[in-house]
Structure 1
């Protein structure tokens, strides 16, 4: 019996490979971490099969309020999937987790698949719950006086000396700040390029909202909501203007919410912008965790249009994975 739970991004899978569960059994997985909590999956078999999801909550800590999808994938007589209706904002206390009773006989090899959509904690004063599952990917202490003043320079256009022209608008900025954060900008202002002569930088491949978020990051003034909304544009800008910390922040954030709707786009972005961890994570999500079966039509289009080198990596992973079966 395998007690280890595999995890990638928001997804956890427990692979049950014991062919002799018997008429009654009790199995508890090893702990696995999602968000700020350790979790356990429990498999009980008596008359029916019961699956439980339990959080491990430290003393004095708040219990999670969880949103997730859970399903069971059986390989007896082909690949068959049982899906529980989506769970939304369910409080999960220690010893009082989620319980799913299945009134079906089950034998052989199967997978318990849990995909977390959100994890929140309730404010102690009864205020609005706040999400705790995904880190923001940002490490700047934006509450410091110096960084606050730097942000004001941008938001209040204090002595700006360069114009950033986006596809649908423009905003003022400061050469010194841009040059300090990007070697590409520094090169523009150090040589007799048109940007130096015209006191303007043309970023026509970004809308003004995304461009503003890019500048907010450079000035250490970005908020989490804008970061998440524009992170694909921010990744593109970070690669173009060689801002490695922003590129790392985008990769960390994109690693944390991979799902079937975005995995192929994330995979292509990881290949294009040379993000090895994101690329490996996306390929594992598709192949090792079997999500390629859920998006067969989209994957067929991907095979026809994606870079040949990237397709080769995916195919090699598929072949290596099936050798283990």
Structure 2
């Protein structure tokens, strides 16, 4: 049996283990695969029933900070009409060893099948005994190298201290500082350095952003954006980052959008990846749809995508599908 029989493919928060054949009485354990901070294993045991287990690899990290996992796990028959069995959603379950999650399946399974695990969240216990903390909120790119300066910049914005330019959003206005905008964006710097209307009138019109999203953009520029605010306005911030050439914001949005690709957002993410030239996001969306077979789960949405998406992007998707078929 080749090593590929034990390999688990991963992307973003999704893991898939493809099993070509399982004898009537047998046990199989996957190679380790990394999701979040931990290495994980899947195992299957077939006797009178099929037992599926998901657990973290034993390590000092697991002993000291066992994952508190929320996930959806499915077994999908990979031939014919792709029948699937889905375990009820697991929420905030601490996993320390290979007996903490066991799924007993009575339905007989033959031939090829896929074990599909979609991690919704991974948390660790709070060191001060408070609520568990999501590990995917820990990496939020908020600069803390000079906390005092950031607080002062934030106050300049929120308290309108000596503002000298007005930002007009689609449904409101807010004061800002042209020096700070110019320092963060070469596009703003060009506006204020030449005899353009923005310099003459001391206004910048951002008519394609509502006030809340515009406030989030300024909060990022001034260094005092909150994680929830960032997550709420990621796509609008990505568009603004591209428009005003704020490369660090574009990278932050890109990294964040890579982390939680799922069936509800994958087509929108794919179109944004194409629009804003984000090759890693495009590749991850393609893998999710094609290599992991999720295109079968969103047929109606995909049909609507085919009616409205850019022709070149549609062509890329079909080339990806054809390439995957050649591998079988």
TM bucket by the smaller chain?
Answer: over 0.9
The CA distance in 1 between the partners of 2:78 and 2:260, in whole Å, is 27
The equivalent residue for 1:167 is 170
**1:188 CA drift (Å):** 0.3
The CA distance in 2 between the partners of 1:323 and 1:135, in whole Å, is 40
Q: Does 1:200 align with 2:203?
A: yes
Q: Does 1:39 align with 2:40?
A: yes
**1:266 CA drift (Å):** 0.6
- Aligned partner of residue 102 in structure 2, secondary structure: strand
What's the CA shift string for 1:131-154, capped at 9, x where partnerless? 113554415216622222222221
The equivalent residue for 2:236 is 233
TM-score, structure 1 normalization: 0.95
Q: Which residue, 255, 258, 261 being the options, matches 1:258?
A: 261
**1:95 CA drift (Å):** 3.4
The equivalent residue for 1:156 is 159
- Aligned partner of residue 92 in structure 2, secondary structure: strand
Q: Which consecutive residues of structure 1, in runs of 5 or more, have no partner in the other structure?
A: none
The equivalent residue for 1:55 is 56
Q: Which residue, 102, 106, 109 being the options, matches 1:99?
A: 102
The equivalent residue for 1:280 is 283
The CA distance in 2 between the partners of 1:31 and 1:179, in whole Å, is 48
Q: Which residue, 8, 13, 26 being the options, matches 1:10?
A: 13
Count of residues in correspondence between the two structures:
323
CA contact (8 A) 1:76 1:107 kept: no
CA contact (8 A) 1:147 1:219 kept: yes
The equivalent residue for 1:244 is 247
Comparing 44-53 and 85-94, the one that deviates more: 85-94
**1:73 CA drift (Å):** 0.7
CA contact (8 A) 2:166 2:175 kept: yes
CA contact (8 A) 1:34 1:133 kept: no
**1:25 CA drift (Å):** 1.3
CA contact (8 A) 1:137 1:252 kept: no
Q: Which consecutive residues of structure 2, in runs of 5 or more, have no partner in the other structure?
A: none
Computed over aligned residues only, the root mean square deviation of the Cα atoms, in angstroms, reads: 1.5
- Aligned partner of residue 199 in structure 2, secondary structure: helix
The equivalent residue for 1:295 is 298
The CA distance in 1 between the partners of 2:320 and 2:188, in whole Å, is 39
The CA distance in 1 between the partners of 2:71 and 2:233, in whole Å, is 25
The equivalent residue for 1:211 is 214
Listed as ranges, the matches of 1:300-311 within 5 Å are: 300-311=303-314
The CA distance in 1 between the partners of 2:45 and 2:225, in whole Å, is 47
The equivalent residue for 1:83 is 86
The equivalent residue for 1:28 is 29
The CA distance in 2 between the partners of 1:77 and 1:234, in whole Å, is 43
What's the CA shift string for 1:98-149, capped at 9, x where partnerless? 1111112222211100001111122234311111135544152166222222
Comparing 124-133 and 166-175, the one that deviates more: 124-133
**1:213 CA drift (Å):** 0.8
Listed as ranges, the matches of 1:99-118 within 5 Å are: 99-118=102-121
Distance 1:143 1:67, change over 3 A: farther
Q: Which residue, 318, 321, 324 being the options, matches 1:315?
A: 318
Which structure has greater helix proportion? Answer: 2
- Aligned partner of residue 148 in structure 1, secondary structure: helix
Q: Does 1:270 align with 2:273?
A: yes
- Aligned partner of residue 291 in structure 2, secondary structure: coil
- Aligned partner of residue 64 in structure 2, secondary structure: coil
Comparing 35-44 and 305-314, the one that deviates more: 35-44
